[in-house]
Amino acid sequence: MHLNDKKDRADSDLFESINDEEMQELVRLAQEESMQKEAFEEESPVRRFPKWMFWIISVVFLFSTFSFVIQSYSIPTFEFLSASARLSADPEIQIVKKAVVTVAAGDSKGTGFSIASDGRILTNAHVVEGHEQVTVDFPDNGIFLADVEAVYEQSDLALLKVKGDGLPYLELADDPEFIEGDPVIFIGNPLRFHGIANKGAILGPTQLSGWDDEVIMMNAPVYRGNSGSPVIDHDGQVIGVVFAVMEHEVYGKVGLFVPIGLFQDTAPL
């Protein structure tokens, strides 16, 4: 006999052991229990909170929500959002932002930017690490599936390619100079925000351990998600790609970007 057969037979034996009178008694007891429960619910008054308690609860909830926002997004965060709003009012910045994309690779999200109308996109190697395909989202042109065409580990850069034509793109500067104090603009997707424009200033080159080439430091509010952001000079051309932050013994916390020449020398367009 199968196990299911044994179970069916046991259930059958249970019901067959109850006669008609016992079944009627069970039904009567169940009905009485149900009626008693309904009577108790009708007699129990509905408790209503006084208005003053409602307002206290509302204020506590709002305070808790505000505290959570402050903890998640500090005062400097609100400052860079305000700066972005001012910069984004510039028509030239609005044009540049059309070529800056969100790069999503699994749970990782970063920034990239189009460097040619045929769908070539530059970002950081660590943003797409371990992926052969990622998605990129243009502000005005929608979402594309992108192939990771090349990864340049030494400079933490990666070249992506989407199937598109006539896409907005940014021009790369030829042999740019990095002069201390020169202003720069960078656009990216920090802290789950999108298309945030911010400004900074060149501090100078630095040599990182394990790197063959120098990278450039800038005094700028760089946050998680800015990886892959284009750094743009006063001529509107890309001079570098944001990839990290570091604590400098003289300048404090600084943003780091890869000079665009490292990409041009490795993969000339």
Which residue in the block uniquely carries the two structure tokens 């009567």? 28
Establish how many alpha carbons lie within 13 A of residue 101's alpha carbon, considering only the half-sphere containing its beta carbon.
33
Instruction: From the candidates 84, 114, 126, 229, give the one annotated as an active-site residue.
Output: 126
Secondary structure class of 29 (helix, strand, coil): helix
Active site residue 11: no
Active site residue 194: no
Of 214, 221, 166, nearest to 193 by C-alpha is: 221
Active site residue 175: no
Task: Identify any residues that bridge with 100 across adjacent strands, giving them in sequence order.
Answer: 113
Instruction: From the candidates 84, 114, 227, 229, give the one annotated as an active-site residue.
Output: 227
CA dihedral of 92, 192, 153, 247, whole degrees rounded to 10:
90
DSSP string, 23-44: HHHHHHHHHHHHHHHHHHHHHS
- The DSSP secondary-structure symbol of 116 reads S
Instruction: From the candidates 84, 131, 155, 156, give the one annotated as an active-site residue.
Output: 156
Question: What beta strand segments (E) does 73-118 contain?
Answer: 100-105, 108-114
Burial label for 159, CB within 10 Å (0-12, 13-18, 19+), is buried
Task: Return the active site residues.
Answer: 126, 156, 227
